[in-house]
Amino acid sequence: MVPYAIIRRFAAGQQIGLDVADQDIVLHYALELLYRAGLLGTVVGEQPGPLLFKGGTELRKCVFGETGRYSKDIDTDATHENGFEATIEAALSEQSPFYGIAFWVPHFRYSAGDNFSGHISYERAHGSGNFALQISYRLAPILAPVGLPLQPQSHFAYVECDPPVLSGLGPYEMIGDKVMACNRRLGGSAKDVYDLHLWSQRPFDEDLVRRLAALKAWTDRLGRAGYEPHTFLESVVPANYRWEDLAGLVPRKL
């Protein structure tokens, strides 16, 4: 495990809470275990594993790096409908403790559409915590899954294994999903709005984002709020989102 003094330095450098910095590093080790189990990686010349990395954690770790907001969970899409519970439990517990971190799965929670999440607990010398591993079943991605190298971070020099190359949704697919999430969650969390703000600060293919958002709306399985682009854009105002959800997750130096 990365030494506690280095975690403290990482937290101070990012100007975030020690608990947020600590869990961000713990998630790195959890991703490594899922990669080693063949759940979240791609063997050269072969198909991706059955889980595809996505969500705010993917954007932070594989796109934005240390400029991104922090995310305390791991979100994935399943490429086929099959139970992964036993494999997930084995991946996280059979090598436990993994470089000083003990992982275990107290329980799984199931929701509509057979989606489920694992409640993952962990313990190491300086404390304990937990996070959710979300598994969602969905239509096939519009764009082909990609290999996702982790963006360099200051603590990598102290990690005992090389950063894995994960398999997941391409960044443009993720942004299309974020647009639809903001449309569905008017009045909800501002996390997706903030991620779109970060994306807007870098050059990107606006036509591709527009096409993906339209296709996501067309194939939306949830069938909730209809997607009317002009109405949606007019609704993306601060008062329509819950900004307190970002508390402690945005590096204060930004």
Domain stops at, among 170, 202, 237: 170
In a domain, 221, yes or no: yes
Domain stops at, among 142, 170, 198: 170
Q: Does one domain contain both 166 and 178?
A: no
Q: Does one domain contain both 131 and 186?
A: no
In a domain, 251, yes or no: no
Give the rounded distance of the alpha carbon of 224 from its chain centre. 23
Q: Which domain holds residue 224?
A: 173-246
pLDDT at residue 81, rounded to an integer: 67
As given in the structure block, the two tokens for residue 229 are 């682009």
Q: Does one domain contain both 164 and 177?
A: no
pLDDT at residue 253, rounded to an integer: 56
Q: What's phi and psi for 236, nearest 5 deg?
A: -80, 80
Domain stops at, among 170, 195, 213: 170
Q: Residue 108: which CATH number? A: 3.10.450.620
Domains in the chain: how many in total?
2
In a domain, 154, yes or no: yes
Q: Does one domain contain both 219 and 123?
A: no
Q: Does one domain contain both 227 and 129?
A: no
Handedness of CA 79, 82, 85, 87 (dihedral sign): negative
In a domain, 98, yes or no: yes
Mean pLDDT by 10 residues, the chain (254 residues): 90 89 93 91 66 91 90 87 83 88 91 81 92 85 89 91 90 87 78 90 90 80 64 81 88 64
As given in the structure block, the two tokens for residue 182 are 């903001």
